[in-house]
Structure 1
Amino acid sequence: MKIPQSRIKIIVFTFVLLINSVSFCFANDSDSSKSKTISFKIKLKSADEVKIKPAPLKFNKHFAYSFTLDDGYRSAYLTAFPLLNGGKISNPDKNEWKIDQGGDGTTSNGLFYSDGLGNKIPFKLALAINGGAIRDLPANRGHLSWQEIKEMYNAGWDILNHGFHHATKHGTNYLTEVTENTTSIKQNLDFTMSHFVVPGGEGDEKYYLEYEKEALNNGHFSVASYYGFGPVFKVDSKVDLDKMITARTFVQSSKDSTSFKTMDRYLKTLDSIVKQPNALWFNEFTHGTGNGNLWNLSMRFPDFKYYMTALANKYGAKGSDTIWMAPGQEVYEYIWLRDRIKVDYKQKDKEIEVTIVLPEIPKTFRNRDISLTVDTSSKFEIESSKDLKIKDDGKTTHKQILIQLK
């Protein structure tokens, strides 16, 4: 796996992009549901003037943090998933490659942020997988099984296309790698992947450009590659998502496994980014999360646990609660929908009628939620039809409304 030589250079480049306010746009929504209009009423306790608009990020969070595990290694299920979602973390467990993909054997209560509406939501990651490597045997296999992937997917983790065989060398059929993996996941898990991560390795010069082309031409909305925009995006204004190609940066353990100094440096970088006044979206990657530093491109489990726990304690439900810890696909889909809805409202004394025109939404979207910010000092209640699922904090902080579309 080719890793950027200097993380510092990438972060500097990122802030240059922020200053220049890079924007993207989106095509490829021909396979979509029909647009429609929804409406509901807000009942205020006082007749104060109210302002309503789409929130930059879901739950009106300050920043979204998306973290992806490349290659579908089993440590994702043995350690990362139970740590974040809650459950029994694997004991040390050597795989078929004689590398320990297990953890510390403890039981985790999970790591959470809140939705601001009284509910805790576990941290979720994404998995970039190769369908050709998924199997049930041997018992100490290095890759995930279909059932393990399904369990994580059902818990809200997103599955990204990483090529069917993780092929990169001369002679690779890039089109087949993209489409066979899409077919494999559809046949075994019954959903269609919509985002692609270029597999790393030895290959012809600029082979990644071939992957980018084939992925975007065959139904994928974005590609994480060697070079591109990001890994930090300003999202407080409209973001056009057209054939989005982003650059990957990695969080990895150092050779020194006796302290968490390396993780502290990553956390310090993250802290400097989220101190920016505007809403942001930050993407990062790693490979394995077991006790062994898989291929020296991974996070040892003690480092992964320290890093994720630190994020939860500082930015999650136990801390400032400013993080939206969600896979990149989930964040992408929220921003796509946010920028295409049309929100109108009319206030008459203590009653507000809100109308939202929805765009045609691609059928491959998993997430169709809308967060609205409500600027009012008055408590309020929502009145809507039974087929519209709406949550609000009108009786407490009266700042947001969440609409969950079917």
Structure 2
Amino acid sequence: MKVSKGAIGKLLICGCVSLVLVASNSFASAFHPVSQSKTIFVKIKLNTNAGISIEKAALKYNKRMAYSFMLDDGYRSAFLCAYPLLNGGKISAPFIDGWQKDQGGDGSLSKGLFFSDGCGNSIPFRMGIAINAASLTETPENRGSLSWSEVKTLYNSGWDILNHSYHHSTKHGTNYSEEVRENGTAVFKGLGFQMTQFIVPGGEGDSGYQDEYAKAAFDNGIVAVGTINGAGPVIKVDKPVNLNRLVYQREFIKSTSDKEFTDIDQHLHKIDLLLKQPEVLWYNEFTHGVGNDNLWDISLTFPDFKYYMTSIAKRYGLGGTDNLWMAPWQEVYEYIWLRDRIKINTKRNGQDVTLEVILPDIPASFRHAAMSFHLKTTSTFIVISQSKDMKVTTNGKEKHSLMNIQLTK
């Protein structure tokens, strides 16, 4: 993929058009709503008679920037190295796969990398994995690709799984629609969930094949496509975002220098600059492998990857400014989708304040139904009642500025 070299200011986009979900063919059932539009509520009691206003937070947990990182092609180093580093656990020792590539790491024990939900709870860094189901296998022991069970573990840990075509086919004669459908069907059958995001595979192909892949993805119920053009890799999100048939590009990152972490420091500098912008932003990057070898020369070596992720956590995660939301693309997409469609009302009776949230129909294929609200008040507060089937967290007894709602059904 060609990496954009333009100035940060030229990368910012925004829009204000509502999303229209279009489903067709075998994936149509994926967009049946979970429930009809309904109203939920949270009632809080202020400790004083101070004024209060409640606004929708631009990003979950009211963070300054969303940062999405994706690993393409489903290489095993995602599970051996990236997952334990971020989630906490034993990182693989050097591991020579069937391609004679080292997809292992340094064998160390990671405590995990975290940011906070703004209400006293730690959230581990999570990523997205773009997979080709045809490559998923449980054997042999030295396989270079992820297994079905490993993908399931990643998914159950909050990582998002994206459709990357069934065979990673790009050459002349590829049936793009079949590649999208077959991959979606295989994952639904094998793991029980519907992929809603598509990443166009890279490789040799007819001129404009990426656009044909994107069209095939949308025609088969996909809601967003990552490819070599479109919005991003930096997207402005402090106003309503046009998610209608969203095509986006990502920043490609790989190890290219023998100089210790020189390239990675440049990427860290860019994140620092983005976090200093006045707008609320969404930035996403990708690579392929993250093991000790630079797999196919399109990957990050594990030392570079570890340095990058631990530096981000120290600077902008729980141990630093804690203003970065490290979450997969699908999770951020679904937060913005819901944020731009809910309507809120605030009612007050003395020191009792009720927040009413009118929900839209939420597609059954969406997995992240969460909302955050910024409360402007000088008073502390407590939650005294709420609707059922949701979890509410606040910092009402401390900074009295944040409320997070997670729908549980």
TM-score by length of 2: 0.95
**1:22 Cα deviation after fit:** 4.5
**1:340 Cα deviation after fit:** 0.5
Which string of whole-angstrom CA distances, capped at 9 and with x for unpartnered residues, describes residues 14-70 of structure 1? 52242x645554221652131111122111111111000110000000100000000
**1:122 Cα deviation after fit:** 0.5
Can you give the 5+ residue segments of structure 2 that lack an aligned partner in the other structure?
23-30
What does residue 358 of structure 1 align with? 359
Matches of 2:114 and 2:201, distance apart in 1: 30
What does residue 315 of structure 2 align with? 314
Residues 1:173 and 2:175 are matched in the alignment = yes
What does residue 37 of structure 2 align with? 35
Residues 1:274 and 2:275 are matched in the alignment = yes
Q: How does 1:280-319 map to 2 (within 5 A)?
A: 280-319=281-320
- Equivalent of 2:159 in 157, 160, 167: 157
Can you give the 5+ residue segments of structure 1 that lack an aligned partner in the other structure?
none
CA 1:25 to 1:230, structure 2 compared with 1: closer, same or farther past 3 Å? farther
- Equivalent of 1:236 in 238, 253, 262: 238
**1:255 Cα deviation after fit:** 4.0
Matches of 2:17 and 2:164, distance apart in 1: 22
After TM superposition, the runs of 4+ consecutive aligned structure 1 residues lying more than 3 A away are 20-25
Q: How does 1:246-265 map to 2 (within 5 A)?
A: 246-256=248-258, 258-265=259-266
Matches of 1:271 and 1:104, distance apart in 2: 28
Identity %: 50
Matches of 2:169 and 2:16, distance apart in 1: 31
Matches of 2:17 and 2:98, distance apart in 1: 43
What does residue 8 of structure 1 align with? 5
Matches of 1:248 and 1:371, distance apart in 2: 26
**Cα RMSD over matched residues?**
1.3
CA 1:70 to 1:39, structure 2 compared with 1: closer, same or farther past 3 Å? same
**Residues 161 and 182 in structure 1, CA contact (< 8 A), matched pair in contact too:** yes
What does residue 27 of structure 2 align with? none
Name the aligned partner's letter for residue 358 of structure 2.
V
Which string of whole-angstrom CA distances, capped at 9 and with x for unpartnered residues, describes residues 264-308 of structure 1? 011111211121012110011000000000010000000000000
**1:385 Cα deviation after fit:** 4.0
Q: How does 1:49-60 map to 2 (within 5 A)?
A: 49-60=51-62
SS at match of 1:47: coil
Name the aligned partner's letter for residue 10 of structure 2.
V
Matches of 1:328 and 1:218, distance apart in 2: 19
Matches of 2:237 and 2:180, distance apart in 1: 29
Name the aligned partner's letter for residue 8 of structure 1.
K
Matches of 1:105 and 1:23, distance apart in 2: 47
**1:389 Cα deviation after fit:** 2.2
**Residues 46 and 352 in structure 2, CA contact (< 8 A), matched pair in contact too:** yes
SS at match of 2:61: helix
CA 1:342 to 1:147, structure 2 compared with 1: closer, same or farther past 3 Å? same
Which string of whole-angstrom CA distances, capped at 9 and with x for unpartnered residues, describes residues 97-156 of structure 1? 111000000000000001111111110000000000000111111100000010111000
Residues 1:368 and 2:379 are matched in the alignment = no
Matches of 1:374 and 1:380, distance apart in 2: 10
Matches of 1:208 and 1:141, distance apart in 2: 29
Name the aligned partner's letter for residue 205 of structure 2.
G
Matches of 1:67 and 1:402, distance apart in 2: 23
Which string of whole-angstrom CA distances, capped at 9 and with x for unpartnered residues, describes residues 307-356 of structure 1? 00000000000000001000010000000000100000122321112211
What does residue 204 of structure 1 align with? 206
SS at match of 2:5: helix
TM-score by length of 1: 0.96
Matches of 1:65 and 1:268, distance apart in 2: 14
- Equivalent of 1:98 in 97, 100, 105: 100
**1:159 Cα deviation after fit:** 0.1
**Residues 11 and 233 in structure 2, CA contact (< 8 A), matched pair in contact too:** no
- Equivalent of 1:26 in 19, 30, 44: 19
